[in-house]
Structures are given as structure tokens and as C-alpha cells.
Structure 1
Amino acid sequence: MGHDPDPVSFDAAAAAAGPLAGPIDRAAVVDLLRSPREALYARADAVRRAHMGDEVFLRGIVEFSNVCANDCLYCGIRRSNPHPHRYRIDADEILAVARRMAGWGQTTIVLQSGEVDTPAENDRLAALITRIRAETPLAVTVSAGNRPRAVYATWRDAGMDRYLLRFETSDPDLFARLHPDCSLAERLHCLSDLRDLGVQVGSGFMIGLPGETLERLADNLVLVHTLDLDMVGIGPFIAHPDTPLAGQANAWADDPEMCFAAVAALRLIDPDLRVPATTAFDAMFPGVGRDLALQRGADVFMPNDTPGRYRKDYLLYPDKPCVDEGDGSCSSCATARIWSLGRFVGEGPGHSRKARPTAGA
């Protein structure tokens, strides 16, 4: 990378360049990704400031269960991995965390888990969402995998504001190889259901899956544009050592800045997106990854609020940061990092900037 992040001053020339104009297709995005990096970053940061302002919203993640029915080839909590101690956090313990989050400057709780589609699990989460909305001022984002439309509707009615479901790759064959338990078509169908239900929809992909080319990366970004999402989380591919892809290098290992080029391109392709600086950036670029993502197009920071004793059993990938920190410390660290960049913590829920039609039935 060559430098630590420093506060970025407003770049009038970069702002004038604006978002990507013309057709958003593979060729245009490839050209964008090939742009000189510093100019690309400055342009993305200027567009972020013009469209989203200098607020950075804190959305605290609570990894409420690492039980998963799926066997994705890169994920540390995959069904076949015998090493994690499997857990489900009791609702009262989650509520105790949620009640403290507003005092930490957080306005959203992100409920994240492995994928277990059973009536008992679905009902349990609905009850939890209801309690969070009744007992705290927080907005609620859920990330718990593919579910039937009726389940998403129940969670929406319970008070769920947003749902995060990454498509991971736009290549259906690659998706099938990496995810033996579902297809890309199924994943996209879930995203369509969520949109039709009036839920704010988040998705995204991994940068640098084995064999990824510049064209495939561009296709991922084009799919983001096609889906017209409300929020998009992207981050570097890092395989867990207890998985079939252990030892597989990120496709951009010789050009790690491509991860940030993708963030910048994302902002220029869809300037009104909420874009988190995902935790995996700090795993790949220790200590500065999320700061750099915030300077190159991102506007959301997601501290880890999972109670400390569970964190080491929710290792989706190795070298995940913050697993040894105490409750609430991630948020104070995040706030300090945000202020050091000349930004400030956003107030209110930080909902989508996009106007949407009335929810479907």
C-alpha cells in the first residue's frame, strides 16, 4: 500500500469527474478498474462526499449463532468443520448488548448467523427482532442466508428494516462449485423477494476468488448495478484453513490494491449506495484496511458487538480482527478511526438514500 491513511482534502477536479457515465457494462467497468489508482480513489471519495456526506454510520454486528447447515468451501463455520464450538446466543443476552449499542454511537444492530432454515429458528429470530424494535431505538439488519419469501415477510412484519445476502460471484458455475447447497439463481430469487417485500436490500461479493479475472470482477460490479441495491458489502477473499480452499491465494495477491479499486468502482457505479468498510479489509491490510476503504468510497463501519466469549467460534476466515477485544471496545476504536479521517459518526438509522415503491404483499 505504501502509506498509512491520512485525512483526505476535498478534490474539486475529482468531484467534477463524478460517477461513471454512460452504459454500465463490462468494458466500461474494466476501464474503470484499470484507471490510475490514486485518481480513481480521489474520484470515488469525492463522489461519496457529494452524494452521501461525511457521516459514517456505525452498525454493530452480533453473530448470534454459528450453527450452519451449509458447506461452503471457504467458510470457517461450514457444516463439515468439526473445530468450532457451536453456539446460539440467548435472546436476553442479545438484548443486553442491543440496549448498550445506542450509547456506543450505533444506530443499527446487524443480526448475523449461519444458515439454518427451520421453523423453530425462523420463529426465534422473529421474536428477537420484535423485542429489539420494542426495547431499543435501533434499526435492524438481518444476515442469515436464503429463506422462503414467507419467512422474510414475517421478519419484515416483526420490524426488520434491511437484509444482507451476498451473491458472492456473478458466475453461476463458480457459485455452484463454492456453494454445494444452493445456486446463484436461488440467491438472486431471494434478493428479488426481499425487494418486492419492501425490505432494504443488501448484497455483495468476494474480491479475488480463485481464478478471478478482471472481467469477472467487472461482471460482479455490473450485477450490483443491475440489481439496484440499497447497500453493498464487498471484501477480499480469504479462505479459512479448515476448509477445502485452505491455502488458496487471493486472485489479486500480486495486486492487493485491486480490492480498494473495486470499492472505488462500486461508489462510481452507484453513488447512492451504503457501502461498509468490511472487516475482511483489516484482516488483509492489518490496522488500516477499513480506514483505507472509508477513504476510497465507503460510508459505513461495522464494529463487532458479539459477546467476547463467542467471537473465536465465529471465524469465517483467519486473522479476523477484534476477536480478543472486550464488549464495546470495537465501537470506541471505530469512532476514533472515523474522527482521525476527518469524518464523523452518523446519527439516525442511516437508511437507504434511494426512493422505493410501496412494499408488496
Structure 2
Amino acid sequence: MEEINLLAEKLCAEHKLSVSEYEFLIKNRTNYVTEFLRQKAVDIRKSIYGNSVYIRGLIEFTNRCKNDCYYCGLRKSNLNCDRYRLEEKQIVACTDEGYELGYRTFVLQGGEDPFFSDEVLCSIIRKIKQNHPDCAVTLSVGERSEESYRALFEAGADRYLLRHETADELHYSKLHPEGMSFKNRMNCLSVLRKTGFAVGAGFMVGSPFQTEKELSEDLKFIETFQPEMCGIGPFIPHRETPFAREKSGSAELTCFLLSVIRIIKPNILLPATTALATLIPDGRERGILSGANVVMPNLSPLAVRKKYELYNNKVCTGEESARCRVCADKRMQSIGYQIVVDRGDMKSF
């Protein structure tokens, strides 16, 4: 008992541990250590961001994908997926509506859809920036070439989210088909950093074949790569994937890891994810109370929300954008936090 307590104190003092120490911390966490780290994470977050929670307007603009990842409902082998693509004018209209609702960051997320070439995406980015120059544009569109990343950055994109999914190469190979490369995924993250983006990484909690060892490697990767953003959420199976019968990840462990990540990198932008809210009704609140400081309500057109199904039973697919914003405000106020109208850039400390 004393060893795990000392390890938790060491993490808080040094903001880093060895891989074996992270593994021991996860395996042997107690209620006391979980609460101790949770409170430390909240104190750290409040010292930098106060009670402010940043919102990102999420626009899921295509559910077409060339990849066949074993965990994802958008995988190309899912013949029961009702595919769609939003047109530029629809995407821009979502940002116009979002701006009126107080959003100052827009996240354009989609599968790896070849239709959205650099030319098409750059046109969309420029239009959004032209209409709303005080806003940030975040992209989450997967692996692309260095030239592509540079073009998107030069068009005005500010941030890029590319979850690494797992920092263990063997584990990566168990989650993805041949042709998808762990080395390429990691190289893309490095190229994004070199290009000038604020970079977001992230991983699933409780994905198939994952043990405490793989999770400890994920934490070490976050510690060493130092992303500006980190998105983690529990694995939730999708009925049309090879992992359809696998168990969901743990909300409790996800919240514990949110606290640890906040302590590792005190000023990181850390979302309370939709997956966490899907697994438990108060998932967003529990994420914020564990050290997160970002929520991402959906700005996608109602007609397509149910079609962007990464996993089973995704929440918030039937609410209008204005209602999503009001709901987010009320949920955060209920736990003593306040959503702010702000780009929500990472602060120094």
C-alpha cells in the first residue's frame, strides 16, 4: 500500500514515471490513490484554466473511409453503413451556425475519404477562416503526406488530431489490417509537429488485446511526445466489426487515466469524450471532474449524425446544435464549471 502511495506522490512531483512504474500504478491503483490523483489533476487544471471549459464544434463531414480498422464502424468492409459526404457549403453553414452559438473552434472530422483532396479541404479551410478569422480550425482526417499536411497548414488549419490508438507496435498490428503501419502513424505525428500544427494524439482504453503494459506505453508516449491535445475514451464495440463481441472499456479506468495525463502535462487540452458519455450518462461531467477541460458538442446536420457511427449507441445523434450547446452549458454549470466563448488555445504555465 505504501509503495503505490509513494508512486502517486512521485508522479505529482516529477510529472513522469518509467513504463514499469506506470504499469504498477495502473495495476495496483486503490480508491485512495484514484481520488488523490483526481484531486491533484483538478487542482492543476484549475491553476491554469480556472473553472473554464472550452468547447469545440464537431462537424463529422464524411463517413466514407478507405481503411478497414477492426474496431471502427466506418471501416470500408461495413456494407451496412449508410455513407455520406457533406458539401463545402454545408460544412461552412455548420460553422456559421456554430459561430452564432458561441463556438470559436471547429473540428472537421471524417474518415480517410480520398474525395477530400488537398484542393477540396484547403478551399473549405480558407472559406471558414475568411468568414471567421477569430476562430481556430482543427482537422481530424487521418494519415496524409507531409506535402498534404503543409498545404492544409498553409491554408489556415491550426490544429490536427491524429490518435495514435496504441503506442505498442504489436498491439497496433492486432487492431489494424495489413497495409496500415504503426511506423507511419508515428511518423505522421512527428511530421504534423514539424509542420507547425498544434498536435493531438490519443488512445482507446480497454481495446481488444490491451493490458496494463500497453496502457503504460501510451502514458510514456504522451509524456515524451508532449502533444498539445490528447483524446482518450473507452473502447466501445461496433456490431459490424470483427470486435463486435468484445467488451467495452472501463469508464473508471478512463477517468483515472485522464487524471494521470493531466498530471503528466499540466497544460494539455484534454477532452471529456463522446465515447465516455456514451458508456455512462454523466461521462462528460466525470471526465471534467477528473481533469479534462474540453467538450465537443456536435454541429453536424441532424440528417447525418446517426450515420457517423464509430461504435454502438453513440449519444447526441438526435439533438439540434442549439440544444446541444444549451445542454453542454447546463451540464458544466451543474458541477461548478463554465463554458467560455474562446478559441481555447493551450496556455503556458
Aligned position for 1:232: 230
CA shift digits 1:157-181 (9 cap, x unpaired): 1100000000001111121221224
Q: Is the 8 A contact 2:70 2:176 kept in 1?
A: yes
The residue type equivalent to 1:196 in the other structure is: K
Distance 1:32 1:129, change over 3 A: same
- Residue among 41, 44, 54 paired with 1:44: 41
Q: How big is the shift at 1:311?
A: 0.7
- Residue among 260, 285, 289 paired with 2:255: 260
| Distance in 1 separating the partners of 2:209 and 2:249 | 6
Distance 1:337 1:264, change over 3 A: same
> Is 1:202 the counterpart of 2:200 in the alignment?
yes
Q: Which moved more, 1:207-216 or 1:85-94?
A: 207-216
Aligned position for 1:170: 167
Q: How big is the shift at 1:341?
A: 1.6
The residue type equivalent to 2:21 in the other structure is: A
The residue type equivalent to 2:265 in the other structure is: D
| Distance in 2 separating the partners of 1:328 and 1:69 | 33
Aligned position for 1:93: 90
Q: How big is the shift at 1:204?
A: 0.4
The residue type equivalent to 1:25 in the other structure is: S
Distance 1:329 1:20, change over 3 A: farther
| Distance in 2 separating the partners of 1:61 and 1:352 | 18
| Distance in 2 separating the partners of 1:46 and 1:270 | 13
SS at match of 1:204: strand
Alignment of 1:1-361 (within 5 A): 19-21=12-14, 23-33=16-26, 34-35=29-30, 36-117=33-114, 121-136=117-132, 137-180=134-177, 181-250=179-248, 252=250, 256-286=251-281, 288-353=282-347
The residue type equivalent to 1:172 in the other structure is: E
Q: Between Structure 1 and Structure 2, how many residues are aligned? A: 335
| Distance in 2 separating the partners of 1:98 and 1:19 | 39
| Distance in 1 separating the partners of 2:221 and 2:139 | 22
| Distance in 2 separating the partners of 1:135 and 1:247 | 45
Distance 1:251 1:319, change over 3 A: closer
Unmatched 5+ stretches in structure 2: 1-8
| Distance in 2 separating the partners of 1:148 and 1:108 | 24
Aligned position for 1:13: none
| Distance in 2 separating the partners of 1:54 and 1:133 | 28
Q: Is the 8 A contact 1:272 1:354 kept in 2?
A: yes
Q: Which runs of 4+ in 1 moved over 6 A?
A: none
Q: Is the 8 A contact 1:20 1:269 kept in 2?
A: no
SS at match of 1:193: helix
| Aligned-CA RMSD value | 1.8
CA shift digits 1:79-99 (9 cap, x unpaired): 010112111101111111101
TM-score where L is the length of structure 2: 0.91
Aligned position for 1:359: none
Aligned position for 1:10: none
Distance 1:230 1:354, change over 3 A: farther
Unmatched 5+ stretches in structure 1: 1-15, 356-361
SS at match of 1:328: helix
Q: Which moved more, 1:99-108 or 1:196-205?
A: 99-108
TM-score where L is the length of structure 1: 0.88
Q: Is the 8 A contact 1:211 1:251 kept in 2?
A: no
Q: Is the 8 A contact 1:57 1:106 kept in 2?
A: no
The residue type equivalent to 1:236 in the other structure is: P
Q: Is the 8 A contact 1:281 1:290 kept in 2?
A: yes
Q: How big is the shift at 1:39?
A: 1.9
